[in-house]
A and B are shown apart, each in its own frame.
Chain A
Amino acid sequence: MASPQLHRFTLPNGLRVVLAPDASAPVVGVSVHYDVGFRSEPEGRTGFAHLFEHLMFQGSESLEKLAHFRHVQSSGGTFNGSTHPDYTDYYQVLPSAALERALFLEADRMRAPKITEENLRNQIDVVKEEIRLNVLNRPYGGFPWILLPPVLFQTFPNAHNGYGDFVDLENATVDDCAAFFDTYYSPANAVLTVAGDVDVAAATALVEKHFADVPPRPAPERPSFAEPPPSGEVRSTHVDAHAPMPALAIGYRVPDPVSDIDNYLAYLVLAGVLTDGDGSRLQQRLVHTEQLVTDLSAGCGLFGPLEARDPDTFSISAIHPADVPTDRVIAAIDEELSRLAQEPPSVEELAKVTARWASTMHREHDRLTNRTLGLGSAELLFGRAELIYELPERIAAVTVDEVSAAAKALRPDSRAVLIVQPANGADSV
C-alpha cells in the first residue's frame, strides 16, 4: 500500500519525534506517548497511571486549569488521553492552522505541569465517576480487561486492576504525582508524533522551538514484566450484580509481540479464522449451528493487538444463555481449536482474514486520530512507526501451518477461564 514517507529525529533531551506528512485534508494530529502504563504503578497505588493521565490536563506553567481544553477546542480541535498497560497517550486533532498551538500545549505540560491538591481531589472524584460508569453500575463492567488478568497472571504488575481500587485512588498524594512525573514523564521516555497536513521543515522547526528546552532527565530503566504461563487451567468465578446472562472468557499467553512479531501475527490471523464473520469457525458453530452462545469474539491483547509488550494475552469471550452449561461452550471451543491444530485452515479462510485486515488497517489510517496514535504507539513499543503500514503484508505472509501451530499452542492445560455469573439466579434470560 502507498505509505507516506516518515521522518524521524531525536532532540538532544532524548525526545523521539516522528513526522508523517499527508496533505489530503487540511488537518493535523499531534500525539505524545509516554513509556509508562498501569503495569508500572506500585502496589497500594492501583489506578495511579490513569489518575495521573487526568492530572496532565489540569494545567501547566503557562496554562491555568481548563485552559488546555479551551485552547484546543477554540482552535477547532478535539483531544483525549488514554492509559494502557505499557504506555499513556495524549493527542489533539485540529485544523492544520493550529499545529503550533498543539505543540505548545504538549510541550508546556511535558516541561512543567501544575499539580495541585485541589485538582487532584477533583480528578479523584471524576475518575471514581468514570469507574462507576464503566464498571460498577453496568453489566459486564470490566469484562474481560479487568477481570481476566488476575486469573491469567500472578504478579502484581500484570494481574492488578488498572482502573484502580477506590481506597488506593483516595490515598494518592501530590507528592506521589511529583515522583511519578519526575520518574516516567521525562522527554527521553516519550515519543512525539505529528501526522497530517504539515510541511516537514516547518514542523521540525516548530518541534525544536517548543520542545528543545524541556529539561533532560534520564529515561527510567524499563523492568521486565515476564512471568511463566499458568501451569494448569486456572478457573475463577465473578458474580455480576447487573448481568442478565452468564459469560466466559478464556485467556492464553501469546508470543512476545516485540521480539517475535511474526509468530504473534499468526494468533491475530487465528482470531479471524475463529470469530471474524458469519463464515468463521466459532461463529458458525457456536452462534448459528449449535446456538450455544449469543455473541462471541476472540483477539490478541485485551486493548487490541500490538498495543502491549510481553506478556500479552489471547482471549476468547462469549455471552451465553443460562441453560447452556459453561463447559459445553468451552468443549466446543476446544474441539474447534483441536481441529485447527490437526488440520490447517484452508487457503481461502486465510485470504478472507487477510483481505479484511487490509481493509481494517486502511480504514483505521483514514481517521487521522487513529493514524497518529497508531504511528506513535508503534514507534514507542516496536521502534518502527512504519509497522502500521507493513502490517497488511506481514499478516498476508502468515501461512496456514503457522495458524495451525498457533491453535495447537492454545492448550487447555495452560490457560485461565473466567466465568461471569449473574447475581440473580440461573435462569434470568
Chain B
Amino acid sequence: MSAPATHRSAEEIGRTPLGPRPLPPLGEQKAAADMSHVDTVLPNGLRVIAVRRSTVPLVELRVRVPFADPAESSEGSQHSAQAEILANTLLTGTATRDRVQIDTELALVGGELDAVVDPERLSISGSSLVTGLDTLLDVLRDALTGAVYPADEVERERARLVERIALARSQPNVIAREALQKHLYGTHPFAKEMPEADEVARVSRDEVQALHAKALLPRGSVLAVVGDIEPAQAVSAVEEALKAWQSDGEAHEMAPLPMVEGGDLVLVNRPGAVQSQIRLSAQAITRTDPRYPALQVANLVYGGFFSSRLVENIREDKGYTYSARSHPEFTSHSATLLVDADTASDVTAAALLETRYELARLGLVPPTESEVDTARRYAIGSLLTTTSSQAGLASFLVNLAGLGLGIEWLVAHPERLANVTAEQVAEAALEFFAPGNFTGVVIGDAAKLAPKMRALGGIIVP
C-alpha cells in the first residue's frame, strides 16, 4: 500500500508518554422537560393524543386503526389482499381531489401522508410544516370520509402490488420473516403479512369500498399529533376536521394469538444463498406485566444492544456475523422475544450453537450487577433520545396507544427501570430465555448447511 515515506508502527501509535487515562465520571443529568399534552376520546370514539414539542416548526400525525381479518384463518380469506389495495389507494381520489391534487396540496405545505397496512392495523402517517396542519387534516378527512377508490387507480395499484410483492419476496429478511410467522402461527391471519398475487388480482373496487365502510372506523382507533402546537387547540382542530368520520361499529382488533411453544427449528432451503438467516422466537410478556422491566433488561444483556453477550460472542469474538440482535415484539394482547442473526453458510451451525449457548447461559449464569447496570442505563438513555424528536415521539406514542397505554407510561418508565434488581433480571432470564422455550427457522442453502445442522440437532433438515 502506498504510504508516506515514514510512519509510526501500530505499536508506537497505540501508546503515549502519559499512558492510559481514567474514564471521566458522568455529570449531573437534567430531567426532560414536561410534555404538555391532552389525551382524550372524541364523540366519534377516536382517541386523540396531542403533545407539544416545539423543537422545529413541524407537526407529525399518526393514525392507527385496528384492521385485523375477522376470519379465524387466512386460508380462503381475501382480507389481506383487499386491505393492501385499500391502503395503496386510500389517498388516490375523493369527490373533490384526484391523486395529483392530493399530492399537490400536501406538497405546498411541506406535507406527506401515507397509509400502510399489516395484519393488525392500518397506519396513516403524515407530517407538514405546522402552518399546514389544517391542510393535512382536511386531506385526511377527505380520504377517511370520502375516498372513492377510482377504478383506474385500483387497477394500477393491483398490478403494481403484485410487482412489489415479488420484489419483497426476493429479500432474504422477508423470506425469513414469512417462514418464521408461518412456523409460529400457521394459518392465523397474523402470519399473513402479504397477500398472494392471485388474491390481489381478484380484488374489485367495490370490495375495497365495502371494506372501508366496514373496517376503517374511528371507534377503537387512535390519532397522535405531536409538534409545535397547543395540544388543546390541536385536539379541537382534529375534532372539527374529523367530526363527519362516524360509525356505530368499532374497529376490529386481532383475535388473541396462540402461545409460542418451544420446539425444533425448520431449515428452509434457499439455493445459492451465501449467508443464512437464523430467526428464533419464544413467548414473552406485555409492557404492562410487572415483570416487563426485568425482561427488558434481560433481553438487552442477551442480544438487545451492541454490548450484549450475543453480539460480543458471535460478532466481536468470532466474526460470524455483522448483524445479530434480540428484541421483544408486541401485539395488542401478547408479546414474543425474537432473536435474529445473519451469518455465512459455513459458520451458520456454529453461530446457532453459540446463540443457544448464550440463551442457556443467561439463565444459568445470570447478568451481573454491572451488566444489569449497563443495560438499565442504556434503556433509560435511549428512551430519552428516541423520544426527543417530534417524529420519534409521535411513533412511540401511537405504538403505546395500540397497547392501551399513554404518555404516563413513557414518563414513568425510567423509574421502573431504575428499580429493577439483578435478582428480578435473573428470574426473567431463567424463565423467558430457556433454550427449550424457543423455536424458529433457518433460511439458507440446505445443501451447504445440512451436514453440520444434522450434527447439531434440534432442527428439521429437508
The chain A residues found within 8 Å of chain B, CB to CB, are 1, 24-27, 42, 44-45, 48, 60-62, 65-66, 69-71, 73-79, 93-101, 104, 108, 111-116, 121-130, 132-133, 136-139, 173-183, 197, 213, 215, 241-245, 276-279, 284, 287-288, 291, 294-295, 319, 321, 348, 351-353, 355-360, 362-363, 365-368, 428-429
B56 contacts A95, CB within 8 Å? no
Decide yes or no: A366 and B171 within 8 Å by CB, A75-B381, A76-B381 being known contacts: no
B167 contacts A60, CB within 8 Å? no
A112 contacts B58, CB within 8 Å? no
Nearest Cβ on chain A to B226's Cβ, whole angstroms: 11
A78 contacts B29, CB within 8 Å? no
Query: Is B409 close to A, CB under 8 A?
Result: no
A278 contacts B307, CB within 8 Å? no
At the interface with chain A, which of B3-11, B245-253, B258-266?
B3-11
Residues from chain A with Cβ under 8 Å of B159 in the complex:
291
Interface size class of B (residues with CB under 8 A): 35 or more
- In the bound complex, how far is the Cα of B31 from the Cα of A262, in angstroms? 42
At the interface with chain A, which of B184-192, B352-360, B387-395?
B387-395
B1 contacts A138, CB within 8 Å? no
Q: Which of A122, A177, A242 is in CB contact (< 8 Å) with B317?
A: A122
Query: Is B316 close to A, CB under 8 A?
Result: yes
Can you list the 3 inter-chain pairs with the closest CB atoms, starting with the nearest?
A76-B381, A125-B319, A359-B110
Q: Which residue of B lies closest to A179 (CB)?
A: B3
Decide yes or no: A181 and B13 within 8 Å by CB, A288-B99, A366-B55 being known contacts: yes
Q: Which of B18, B29, B374, B392 is in CB contact (< 8 Å) with A70?
A: B374
A351 contacts B108, CB within 8 Å? yes
Residues from chain A with Cβ under 8 Å of B100 in the complex:
278-279, 284
The chain B residues found within 8 Å of chain A, CB to CB, are 1-4, 7-10, 12-16, 18-33, 54-58, 92, 99-100, 102-104, 106-112, 127-129, 156, 159-160, 162-164, 166-167, 169-172, 272-275, 305-307, 312, 315-323, 342-344, 373-374, 377-378, 380-382, 384-385, 388-392
Q: Which of A24, A60, A126, A215 is in CB contact (< 8 Å) with B322?
A: A126
Residues from chain B with Cβ under 8 Å of A215 in the complex:
16
B381 contacts A112, CB within 8 Å? no
* 8 A-B contact pairs sorted by A residue (CB < 8 Å): A1-B57, A25-B33, A65-B316, A69-B306, A98-B381, A244-B166, A294-B167, A366-B391
Residues from chain A with Cβ under 8 Å of B374 in the complex:
70, 73-74
Residues from chain B with Cβ under 8 Å of A100 in the complex:
24-25, 27
Q: Which residue of A lies closest to B18 (CB)?
A: A213
Residues from chain A with Cβ under 8 Å of B164 in the complex:
294-295
B108 contacts A129, CB within 8 Å? no
- In the bound complex, how far is the Cα of B16 from the Cα of A215, in angstroms? 9
- In the bound complex, how far is the Cα of B21 from the Cα of A108, in angstroms? 9
Q: Which of A65, A242, A365 is in CB contact (< 8 Å) with B56?
A: A365
- In the bound complex, how far is the Cα of B322 from the Cα of A125, in angstroms? 9
Q: Which of B23, B160, B382 is in CB contact (< 8 Å) with A71?
A: B23
B322 contacts A133, CB within 8 Å? yes
A26 contacts B31, CB within 8 Å? yes
Nearest Cβ on chain A to B221's Cβ, whole angstroms: 25
Nearest Cβ on chain A to B340's Cβ, whole angstroms: 11
Q: Which residue of A lies closest to B383 (CB)?
A: A76
- In the bound complex, how far is the Cα of B109 from the Cα of A351, in angstroms? 9
B384 contacts A25, CB within 8 Å? yes
A137 contacts B110, CB within 8 Å? no
Decide yes or no: A355 and B129 within 8 Å by CB, A61-B15, A278-B102, A367-B389 being known contacts: yes
B16 contacts A74, CB within 8 Å? no
Q: Which of B316, B380, B385 is in CB contact (< 8 Å) with A66?
A: B316
Decide yes or no: A356 and B28 within 8 Å by CB, A25-B384, A73-B306, A116-B10 being known contacts: no
Nearest Cβ on chain B to A113's Cβ, whole angstroms: 7
- In the bound complex, how far is the Cα of B406 from the Cα of A324, in angstroms? 50
- In the bound complex, how far is the Cα of B110 from the Cα of A363, in angstroms? 11
B163 contacts A245, CB within 8 Å? yes
B32 contacts A288, CB within 8 Å? no
Q: Which residue of A lies closest to B4 (CB)?
A: A183
B58 contacts A366, CB within 8 Å? yes
Nearest Cβ on chain B to A294's Cβ, whole angstroms: 4
- In the bound complex, how far is the Cα of B107 from the Cα of A276, in angstroms? 9
- Highest count of chain B CB atoms <10 Å: which of A100, A122, A294: A294
Q: Which residue of B lies closest to A362 (CB)?
A: B56
B344 contacts A129, CB within 8 Å? yes
Residues from chain B with Cβ under 8 Å of A137 in the complex:
172, 273-275, 342
B382 contacts A97, CB within 8 Å? no
B107 contacts A132, CB within 8 Å? no
- In the bound complex, how far is the Cα of B111 from the Cα of A402, in angstroms? 25
Q: Which residue of B lies closest to A130 (CB)?
A: B322
Q: Which of B20, B127, B163 is in CB contact (< 8 Å) with A363?
A: B127
Residues from chain B with Cβ under 8 Å of A128 in the complex:
344
Nearest Cβ on chain B to A363's Cβ, whole angstroms: 6
- In the bound complex, how far is the Cα of B345 from the Cα of A129, in angstroms? 10
B23 contacts A61, CB within 8 Å? no
- In the bound complex, how far is the Cα of B110 from the Cα of A362, in angstroms? 10
Nearest Cβ on chain A to B377's Cβ, whole angstroms: 5
Q: Which residue of B lies closest to A321 (CB)?
A: B163
B170 contacts A244, CB within 8 Å? yes
B378 contacts A115, CB within 8 Å? no
Decide yes or no: A115 and B55 within 8 Å by CB, A137-B172, A139-B167, A351-B108 being known contacts: no
Q: Which residue of A lies closest to B26 (CB)?
A: A97
Nearest Cβ on chain B to A17's Cβ, whole angstroms: 18
Residues from chain B with Cβ under 8 Å of A358 in the complex:
110, 129
- In the bound complex, how far is the Cα of B161 from the Cα of A228, in angstroms? 42
A359 contacts B128, CB within 8 Å? yes
Residues from chain B with Cβ under 8 Å of A98 in the complex:
26-27, 381
A44 contacts B1, CB within 8 Å? yes
Decide yes or no: A279 and B103 within 8 Å by CB, A363-B58, A366-B55 being known contacts: yes
Residues from chain B with Cβ under 8 Å of A177 in the complex:
10
Q: Which of A62, A76, A287, A351 is in CB contact (< 8 Å) with B384?
A: A76
B388 contacts A66, CB within 8 Å? no
B385 contacts A78, CB within 8 Å? yes
Nearest Cβ on chain A to B52's Cβ, whole angstroms: 12
A355 contacts B16, CB within 8 Å? no
Nearest Cβ on chain B to A323's Cβ, whole angstroms: 11
Nearest Cβ on chain A to B168's Cβ, whole angstroms: 9
Nearest Cβ on chain A to B6's Cβ, whole angstroms: 9
Nearest Cβ on chain A to B275's Cβ, whole angstroms: 4
- In the bound complex, how far is the Cα of B104 from the Cα of A348, in angstroms? 9
Residues from chain A with Cβ under 8 Å of B33 in the complex:
24-25
B30 contacts A197, CB within 8 Å? yes
A179 contacts B4, CB within 8 Å? yes
Residues from chain B with Cβ under 8 Å of A121 in the complex:
319
- In the bound complex, how far is the Cα of B366 from the Cα of A30, in angstroms? 34
Nearest Cβ on chain A to B273's Cβ, whole angstroms: 6
Decide yes or no: A429 and B384 within 8 Å by CB, A61-B14, A278-B103 being known contacts: no
- In the bound complex, how far is the Cα of B319 from the Cα of A121, in angstroms? 9
